[in-house]
Amino acid sequence: MYKKIYKGEFRCPRWMSSDLKRFLTRLLDTNPKTRITIDDIMQDPWLTKGGLQHVRAFPRDHEEEDISSSPMELEPPSDTTPALNAFDLISFSSGLDLSGLFDDSYNPVEDGELFISADSPEKIMRKIQDFANKEEMRLVRKKKEWGWGMELQAGGKGNLVMGIQLNRLTDELVVTEVRRRGGDSASYDDLWNSKLRPQLLLIDNDSAASA
Amino acid sequence: MYPRTNSSSSSSSTIGEKICTACIPFLAWFEASIFCAIYCFDDNFFTTKEKCGYRIRNLARLAHETLFTVNEVEVLYELFKKLSSSIIDDGLIHKEELRLAIFRTPYGENLFLDRVFDLFDEKRNGVIGFEEFVHALNVFHPYTPMEEKIDFAFRLYDLRHTGFIEREEVKQMVIAVSVESDMNLSDEHLEAILDNTFAAADANQDGRIDKDEWKAFVLQHPSLLKHMTLPLLEYLEGEGAADSSF
């Protein structure tokens, strides 16, 4: 394959459009003098088709908000946010997650957890914020169409990223999904099992006691 | 008169040369079969099962029937070999081997793994062959039409194959997932969840979800099918793939 890379020999799959094929040919030009430049990349028809004015280096499909430094704005999920249903719960099952077939390092059982509580999302968010501050993690909140998701990022601890998703399940219940999205299992395990999880479960007991 | 030497030279070859000439085609055949055998034995999986030509035709046919290219089918084949030999080395994936691949342990019972295994096992013979493996994974391809994914998910959740997803079946599945995740779901909460779900999904309120109701429901809640797509299927690449096309 290295010979082909060196000579710039490649074939494109049939589903690629001709614009894309042309773009790839310009990118993979073996002659650095004639190869496409960054400015040209921004102007390329395949990228700019459909009115894309500006290509961001790390495109996100939704807006991100870094709120770790500002005071917590605890907006509850808007009324238009659809609640989860039984099938959402079912789809969380690791038995239905086939990515483990391909990725040896991914272990759905260890890396993700779901729990249901009769707590308000505000309470849960507050606990998460406290935890994030204590562990010096950056809380990045993503506004998605469904649910209320965020990520905790710990740059220091081997780039650990913990994805947290809150969703309403019924009028009383909220389901929280916590998943390892980056970093190694061991540090995730330490943070989640020994530190955050007990805190979140604690809310459950508190509300049950006061109910 | 012709000299005597002429008669012997006019036959144009000696006995030795005649033998060599006769042997050459056999030697060529022998050499070719050695090379073929080396090629076949290079992949010892197939020496006991199938012939080389059959294998190549099969890969091309599978590529034609699915969204995978021949190279990607080859990559899937490498994965299949690994999975199918993990516990019982017979070129077929048994349930424990699938369980091992997904849960990292062959032990335990999981309702959803059972359902997935059943759906992969098209021929219903208790094992997953390579063709069944590729056909099933094709449903998870990012470019596979939503219709196929919706259908696969419906069959997945129709535990008793009645053509409907009954409330009892949904209850069973929610209990299974709550046990799996160590959630403590009270009966009251469980019924509330089911009530909400069936209010939304069961259009004719007959206590069960039929194919059309399921389809309409999923189109309103596309996140329900998020596990039906494996993005990495678009980027299959073998380790040290010598000849992968771009």
* Contact state of B221 with A108 under an 8 Å Cβ cutoff: no
Is residue A167 very low, low, confident or very high in pLDDT (cuts 50, 70, 90)?
confident
Mean pLDDT over the full length of chain B:
84
Q: What is the dihedral of CA B198, B200, B205, B211, to 10 degrees?
A: -90
3-state secondary structure of A150: strand
Q: Which residue has the tokens 């483990």?
A: A100
Is residue A175 very low, low, confident or very high in pLDDT (cuts 50, 70, 90)?
confident
| Average pLDDT over every residue of B9-24 | 74
B62-103 pLDDT, tens digit each = 999 999 999 999 999 999 999 999 999 999 999 999 999 998
Q: Rounded CA gap, A165 and A179, in Å?
A: 9
* Contact state of A89 with B110 under an 8 Å Cβ cutoff: no
For residue A67, pLDDT over 70 is answered with no
pLDDT of residue A60: 45
* Contact state of A1 with B244 under an 8 Å Cβ cutoff: yes
Helices B130-139, B52-65: axis angle to 10 degrees equals 20
Contacts of B102 in chain A (CB under 8 A): 94-95, 97-98, 100-101, 108
* Contact state of B221 with A99 under an 8 Å Cβ cutoff: no
Tell me the whole-structure pTM to 2 decimals.
0.65
Smallest Cβ distance to A95: which of B112, B183, B243?
B112
Q: Does A2 touch chain B (CB under 8 A)?
A: no
3-class secondary structure per residue, B88-124: CCCCCECHHHHHHHHHCCCCCCCHHHHHHHHHHCCCC
Q: Rounded CA gap, A181 and A188, in Å?
A: 9
Is residue A38 very low, low, confident or very high in pLDDT (cuts 50, 70, 90)?
confident
C-beta atoms surrounding B167 within 10 Å: 19
Q: Which residue has the tokens 């709120």?
A: A67
CB pairs under 8 A between A and B: 132
| Average pLDDT over every residue of A115-138 | 81
Smallest Cβ distance to A86: which of B79, B174, B223?
B174
| Average pLDDT over every residue of A126-146 | 74
Contacts of B110 in chain A (CB under 8 A): 93-95
pLDDT of residue B37: 67
pLDDT of residue A90: 92
B160-219 pLDDT, tens digit each = 999 999 999 999 999 998 888 777 788 998 999 999 999 999 999 999 999 999 999 999
Q: Are B86 and B101 contacting, i.e. CB atoms less than 8 angstroms apart?
A: yes
Smallest Cβ distance to B230: which of A15, A85, A98?
A98
Which carries the bigger pLDDT value, residue A67 or residue B200?
Answer: B200
For chain A, list the strands marked E by DSSP: 64-66, 112-117, 138-142, 148-154, 160-168, 174-182
Token pair belonging to B156? 């997945």
Closest-CA distance of chain B to residue A33, Å? 23
Is residue A208 very low, low, confident or very high in pLDDT (cuts 50, 70, 90)?
very low
pLDDT of residue B204: 93
B127-142 pLDDT, tens digit each = 999 999 999 999 999 9
Nearest residue of chain A to residue B84 (CA atoms): A101
| Average pLDDT over every residue of A122-150 | 75
Check: complex ipTM more than 0.95 = no
* Contact state of B180 with A82 under an 8 Å Cβ cutoff: no
3-class secondary structure per residue, chain B: CCCHHHHHHHCCCCHHHHHHHHHHHHHHHHHHHHHHHHHHHHCHHHHHHCCHHHHHHHHHHHHHHCCCCHHHHHHHHHHHHHHHCCCCCCCCECHHHHHHHHHCCCCCCCHHHHHHHHHHCCCCCCCECHHHHHHHHHHCCCCCCHHHHHHHHHHHHCCCCCCCEEHHHHHHHHHHHHHHCCCCCCHHHHHHHHHHHHHHHCCCCCCEECHHHHHHHHHHCHHHHHHHCCHHHHHCCCCCCCCCCC
Q: Are B72 and B63 contacting, i.e. CB atoms less than 8 angstroms apart?
A: yes
Helices B167-180, B111-120: axis angle to 10 degrees equals 120
Is residue B42 very low, low, confident or very high in pLDDT (cuts 50, 70, 90)?
low
C-beta atoms surrounding B63 within 10 Å: 17
pLDDT of residue B48: 47
